[in-house]
Structure 1
Amino acid sequence: MRRVPRKVLRHRLTVEPYQGSSSVGDVYRPAEIVRCLLDESTQQVTTPGGENVTSSSSYIAWPDHQPPLNSRVTLPDGRKTKVIKVGRVNAVGLPVPNNTQVFLQ
């Protein structure tokens, strides 16, 4: 399986994987630093529930990165946002590396 070359993943984000809700609010697992390529362009995406929403940014990372929906993400400039959609690119037989694309609120 080909992966995105490390040198392409120029950005680092902090991702706190969503674990669920409790009586006091959302619960997250410990934060992890993720190497990625960040795209801060606005685009329309369809969530897994079929809702059309606007994504403020997205990023690609290695294919083993699969954050749960609603995970909290801190961008390089300090802004916080949440994961609204995760897609996996499996490019078997094509000259494109496998990766995960994550869309943010």
Structure 2
Amino acid sequence: MTRIPPWLLPHRVVIEPYLGDSAYGPKYGPPVPGVRAMVAEQVRTVRDREGREIVSTAQVITAPDTDCPAESRITLPSGRRTRALSTAHHTAPGLPVPESLEVMCE
């Protein structure tokens, strides 16, 4: 399987991976700056990780091995900070199409 080519990821985002909840609220890993991505800031109706229908205002496509679980904080190229609602790994075993990770953002 092939990875999505870097030339298809013209934007850079900052990802703070969600590590879980603590006694003081959500806990995040250290920020990872300069993550290559393709960002589309548009409104879409999606389902969150619990199956509820919600609105996503940005979609981020990045490399398949990017550490970005749902609830992670993401800073988009526009400077807007958002939260990952859900993630989807796109693979096609045996087919000559690239793998990627799609993140739907709040």
TM-score normalised by length of structure 2: 0.91
Query: Once the 2 structures are TM-superposed, how far is the Cα of residue 61 of structure 1 from its aligned partner?
Result: 0.8
- The letter for the 1-side match of 2:68 is P
Q: 1:40 is matched with which residue?
A: 41
| CA offset digits 1:12-57 (Å, max 9, x no partner) | 1000011122232221110002111111111111122110000001
Verify: 1:26 aligned to 2:22, yes or no.
no
The secondary structure found in structure 2 opposite 1:86 is strand
Q: Which runs of 5+ in 1 are unaligned?
A: none
Q: Which runs of 5+ in 2 are unaligned?
A: none
TM-score normalised by length of structure 1: 0.92
Counterpart Cα distance in 2 of 1:16 and 1:2: 26
**Corresponding pairs, count:** 105
Q: 2:70 is matched with which residue?
A: 69
Cα RMSD after superposing both structures: 1.2
Provide the identity percentage.
37
Contact 1:66 1:100 in 2 (8 A): no
